[in-house]
A and B are shown apart, each in its own frame.
Chain A
Amino acid sequence: MEKPDDVLVLRARDFWASLTLIVLSIFFLWKTSSIPLWGGNRAGVSGTDWYNSAAIVPLFIFTAILVLAFVLLIVSIRSGGAQHAVTSVGLGWDKAEALRVSTISLMLLAYVVGLVPRVDFILCSGLLITGLSFGFFGGHAWRASVACMFLVAAGVFAFVSYPAQADWNNHADDWVTLFLWIGLTVLLLVKGANDKVLRVVPLIAILAPLILVCAMAFGFRQNLPARGGLIFKQIEYHYYVTLRPLWKE
């Protein structure tokens, strides 16, 4: 069973959640109104009856969410959630937790949106593994901020330099990511010189993505993000030109 404070935090969060759900369900009910319900003609097909409509199930779903959101709002208000909604109790997050979650979110965003589509997968994954391990092992807030800066710098550079898909095969962002990865690894080795767990991280950061990429590309024969990346391009070339002929012949 939770402590009373935890319940209060939950109810305060429920207050905000119910308001968000009410707004979202009303928005989607409005969006649903653009789908013909009482007849209408789409792509030459006449939908003359309400039960033919593609809107019927979404209407049921969003109305149900709206009703439940109101119930949740009432439960929250009755339990004191509204009173505490704008206090620190209501948010239930302290500064350290806010910093932790925001740095992780920024790092993941930089990785998925900025780096993965544009930068060699081994390089960007190595940087991510190094950044997350260095940033959150041991619970030092400044390390998380520094690691976040490295990843965001790489992600923003890639995103800003090559926003269009046609340019994703360029390599300037690969080089920048490589330098940032080396920089972060040096920092990790300096700061974690006495920690045997941290000393293993650079090895994991190189081997894990390398093995994964090779298994996916040559074992499962799957597509990879940024196939023309700085390192993978070389691996692929030597696999097909240098290695494969050895057993093919």
Chain B
Amino acid sequence: MDFIFTQLAGFGAAFVALVGDPLTYVYLIVSVFLGITFGALPGLTATLAVTILTGFFGNKIPLDYSLIALLGAYVGAIYGGSYPSILLNIPGTAASAATAMDGYPLAKAGRGGEALGLTTTASFIGTVIGTFTLLIFVWVLLLVSKNIASPEKALLALFGILLSGTLMSEDLVIKGWIAGLIGLAMSMVGLDPLLSEPRYTFGWSYLLSGFQVVPVLMGAFAVPQIIDGLRHVQAGKVLALKGRILPNLKSIRRYLPTIGRSGVIGTGVGALPGVGEDVAGWVSYGVGKTVSSEGDKFGRGSFEGLLCSETANNACIGGALIPLLVLGIPGSPPAAALMGAFKINNVIPGPTIDPEIILRVVAILVMASLTMFLMGLFTARVFVKILAIPQTIFLPVVMVLTTIGSFSVGGGINDLYLMLGVGAVAYFMNLMKYPIAPLVIGVILGSLFDETFRRSLFLSDGDLSVFFSRPGAAILLLLNLGLILSQLPFVKRAFLRMKGRTA
């Protein structure tokens, strides 16, 4: 119990310091506004918001302020996706896909204002649930993670890549794994971390330092989005926002159990390495449909259905930061972008991270969710107007933002060539339904995997039993093998047969 009080006291101090700094409000208001705008504009995503702001704020202002800017944009963008879902029937972000199923019928029935008000409240509560889970559990995990050595780190990195590949594939699972392996392969470029042996540099000195994170992020997330979005789309009719946005206490109290359950589910899904807000939204929606008394109304304008996905996707933020901060493995694609910001500030997330940073992150998340809550309730009509901007008008500006953001991180013109090359590859991968998030996670975790895998072998004189002789490593190895085996057709068939027999 002691550590909970220590954590709460630490959080209190960080929160007071944040509240007392006037610059906090400047960064918060700007970043949450930009985040909601990015989320609300169909064609732009939360990952893109965090990626682009990483290019701008990543290493240009003190880390404290850049964290405010990036986390503010993250929270705002995940919430902002609900606007087009409810009013246009087009999810602003993948995380809000489930929101459209109930949000749009509600708006059509003239209850758009009420839906938006409850969504805003649920997103706020969801973020706070995820944030406080982060505050409490991160400490426990940090204690556990002190016993994590090179073999466990290598297997954990591999597990993160495989899990994200498995869960984020829209088509065949092996496509997710191939994407992750391509990311790993990209991270092999440059001097190797132990012997400084040049690998795949083709005589180009720029490649000696490997692929830089920010241009890869920009290329992987921004360029395909721009190429795909620059097309004529018949503008959907934005439904008028009818009714009071400010929710009444009675309805909040009524839906509190749903919000609480979805918050816990969202946080749990977020804590899985590499799995993002979209999965959290759908899982929570599926659970809600099964357990809710109004499950049969889901998809036809149910407030419970709406709140299931919207609470979970915001709660996922806190959850996604748990593996990032404790293990150095991003819990979602935007968290991968956030890790890029940590990396360019020379902060290595993982067991050695300064606990003060975690407390500051929690305080920032609480402030950001509060800002989002107030903006959502009182300036919603401004964001509704933004929905009318065609993507052929704002995407060219995003391209310019991406270019200057990528250039200014440090590598100059070569970074732009890298961004364009990665963008072309990512576009074709998107076209063939390869998920992009495992690729980025592979690039980010590749050097960790390479270094820890080889260090394990080095310390054990090449004895492979190092990967299963320690309990933690053995569990992780089993998880990796289990994940791969579970996708093999004959194993799947065997499971189906067993299921048939028990039924």
Is A117 on the interface with B (CB-CB < 8 A)? yes
B399 touching A216, Cβ below 8 Å: no
- Tell me if B's interface is mostly helix, strand, loop or mixed: helix
Within 8 Å CB of B408, what residues of A? 216, 220, 222-224
The residue of chain B having its C-beta at the shortest distance from the C-beta of A31 within the complex is B200
Within 8 Å CB of A42, what residues of B? 195, 197
Is A180 on the interface with B (CB-CB < 8 A)? no
Within 8 Å CB of B230, what residues of A? 100, 104, 132, 135-136
Within 8 Å CB of A43, what residues of B? 196
Question: Which of B407-428 touch A at CB < 8 Å?
Answer: 407-408, 412-413, 416-417, 419-420, 423-424
A54 touching B431, Cβ below 8 Å: no
B454 touching A51, Cβ below 8 Å: yes
B405 CB to nearest chain A CB (Å):
9
B178 touching A65, Cβ below 8 Å: yes
B178 touching A216, Cβ below 8 Å: no
Please judge, given known A-B contacts A100-B231, A121-B404, whether A68 and B178 are in contact too, CB under 8 Å: yes
Please judge, given known A-B contacts A51-B458, A104-B230, A208-B397, whether A35 and B199 are in contact too, CB under 8 Å: yes
The residue of chain A having its C-beta at the shortest distance from the C-beta of B428 within the complex is A17
A113 touching B432, Cβ below 8 Å: no
A212 touching B454, Cβ below 8 Å: no
B140 CB to nearest chain A CB (Å):
32
Please judge, given known A-B contacts A10-B171, A137-B392, whether A57 and B454 are in contact too, CB under 8 Å: yes
Within 8 Å CB of A68, what residues of B? 174, 177-178, 181
- Tell me if A's interface is mostly helix, strand, loop or mixed: helix
Please judge, given known A-B contacts A21-B178, A57-B450, whether A136 and B404 are in contact too, CB under 8 Å: no
Is B433 on the interface with A (CB-CB < 8 A)? yes
B195 touching A47, Cβ below 8 Å: yes
Within 8 Å CB of B403, what residues of A? 111-112, 116, 125
Chain B 216-229, CB-CB to A under 8 Å as 1, else 0, gives: 00000001001100
Within 8 Å CB of B56, what residues of A? 220
Is A120 on the interface with B (CB-CB < 8 A)? no
Question: Which of B436-466 touch A at CB < 8 Å?
Answer: 449-450, 453-454, 457-458, 461-462
Is B252 on the interface with A (CB-CB < 8 A)? no
A49 touching B392, Cβ below 8 Å: no
B181 touching A72, Cβ below 8 Å: no
Is B184 on the interface with A (CB-CB < 8 A)? yes
B432 touching A224, Cβ below 8 Å: no
B232 touching A58, Cβ below 8 Å: no
A105 touching B178, Cβ below 8 Å: no
Is B144 on the interface with A (CB-CB < 8 A)? no
Please judge, given known A-B contacts A45-B195, A68-B178, whether A101 and B404 are in contact too, CB under 8 Å: no
Question: Which of B189-239 touch A at CB < 8 Å?
Answer: 192, 194-197, 199-200, 223, 226-227, 230-232
A134 CB to nearest chain B CB (Å):
9
A3 to B182, CA, bound (A): 28
The residue of chain B having its C-beta at the shortest distance from the C-beta of A109 within the complex is B420
User: What size tier do the contact residues of chain B reach?
Assistant: 35 or more
Question: Which of A195-249 touch B at CB < 8 Å?
Answer: 197, 200-201, 204, 208-209, 212-213, 216, 220-225
Chain A 93-132, CB-CB to B under 8 Å as 1, else 0, gives: 0000000110011001101110011000100010011011
Within 8 Å CB of B420, what residues of A? 108-109, 112-113
A204 touching B172, Cβ below 8 Å: no
Is A172 on the interface with B (CB-CB < 8 A)? no
B7 CB to nearest chain A CB (Å):
34
Is B257 on the interface with A (CB-CB < 8 A)? no
Is A69 on the interface with B (CB-CB < 8 A)? yes
A101 to B185, CA, bound (A): 27
Interface residues in chain A, defined as those with a beta carbon under 8 Å from any beta carbon in chain B: 10, 13-14, 17, 21, 28, 31-32, 35-36, 42-43, 45, 47, 49-52, 54, 56-58, 61-62, 64-65, 68-69, 71-72, 75, 100-101, 104-105, 108-109, 111-113, 116-117, 121, 125, 128-129, 131-133, 135-139, 197, 200-201, 204, 208-209, 212-213, 216, 220-225
What 6 A-B pairs come out closest when comparing CB atoms? A139-B232, A51-B457, A54-B197, A54-B192, A132-B396, A51-B462
17 contacts between A and B (CB under 8 A): A35-B199, A52-B454, A57-B450, A61-B181, A61-B185, A62-B185, A65-B182, A68-B177, A68-B178, A72-B174, A75-B172, A117-B413, A138-B392, A204-B397, A208-B400, A216-B408, A222-B408
Q: Taking A54-B199, A71-B174, A197-B390 as given, write out 10 further A-B residue pairs in contact, using a Cβ cutoff of 8 Å, ordered by the A residue number.
A: A43-B196, A49-B461, A51-B458, A51-B462, A64-B177, A65-B182, A108-B227, A209-B400, A224-B408, A225-B407
Interface residues in chain B, defined as those with a beta carbon under 8 Å from any beta carbon in chain A: 56, 60-61, 171-172, 174-175, 177-178, 181-182, 184-185, 188, 192, 194-197, 199-200, 223, 226-227, 230-232, 390, 392-393, 395-397, 399-401, 403-404, 407-408, 412-413, 416-417, 419-420, 423-424, 431-433, 449-450, 453-454, 457-458, 461-462
